[in-house]
Amino acid sequence: MAAFKPKLCLLISLFCLGDVAYSTLFTLQNHCSHTVWPGTLSGSGSPSLGDGGFMLAPGSSVQLTAQPGWSGRFWARTGCNFDASGNGKCLTGDCGSLKCAGGGAPPVSLAEFTIGSGVSDKDFYDVSLVDGYNVGMGVKATGGTGDCQYAGCVTDLNRNCPDELRVADSSSGSVVACKSACAAFNAPEFCCTGDHATPQTCSPTQYSEIFKNACPTAYSYAYDDATSTCTCSGSDYLITFCPPGSSS
């Protein structure tokens, strides 16, 4: 029994070290000229990252660690005003408080992830404009193996947003976000619902094509999988708000 105990301790130690080695590091970087308040939402059973939300000044970054199997999303909130207790609202991407318990209110650009359960398993990730657009966003895989494509939307869609999709700041009149056609018109052909609820019956529209032409590596509508879902194994990820080339 005495001879077995050290071996057991060694196995436990190696198991713990394995967990550390397989963890995924997210670096969130604010390249915008203004402060953003990143929101985070973890999938069912996944632990919360960054307490659900925080402030990120221009030029600053923060690192968050996710364990194997984590899933969730990140987004930028803009025009926020919170009190000392974290109560308040945001102009775009609002979730009700500084520390989000739910998702961001559309229109909002999203970075979505499903991390593999082991270092050799594939991660799946994308940047989605299905819920609309508020700021440019880029996801770069670092240190992984496989395709590991860059995902993102570098173009400032607020500048080229059709009038019927625009969301303006009531105080300044400036365009702060661009709605999806689904949010603007709530019609099955735009929302991929009802008779349009399958990949075969929900096709790109004139509005989703505006998003796709501007941001070829981002989801432009619900079934835009072929050119928008990225994979990588054993990677860390750099998530940049207003990546270089974006004037958001």
Task: For residue range 54-89, list pLDDT tens digits in order.
Answer: 999 999 999 999 999 999 999 999 999 999 999 999
In the chain, domain spans: 26-241
Q: What CA–CA distances, in Å, run from 171 to 165, 174, 177?
A: 18, 8, 14
Q: Of 217, 222, 186, 182, which Cα lies nearest the Cα of 202?
A: 222
Write the pLDDT tens digit of every residue in 175-228: 999 999 999 999 999 999 999 999 999 999 999 999 999 999 999 999 998 889
Q: Which residues of 52-78 are buried (b: 16+ CB within 10 A; e: fewer)?
A: bbbebeeeeeeebebebbbbbbbbbbb
Task: Indicate the DSSP class of residue 87.
Answer: B
Question: What pLDDT, on the 0 to 100 scale, is given for residue 8?
Answer: 41
CATH superfamily entry for domain 26-241: Thaumatin (2.60.110.10)
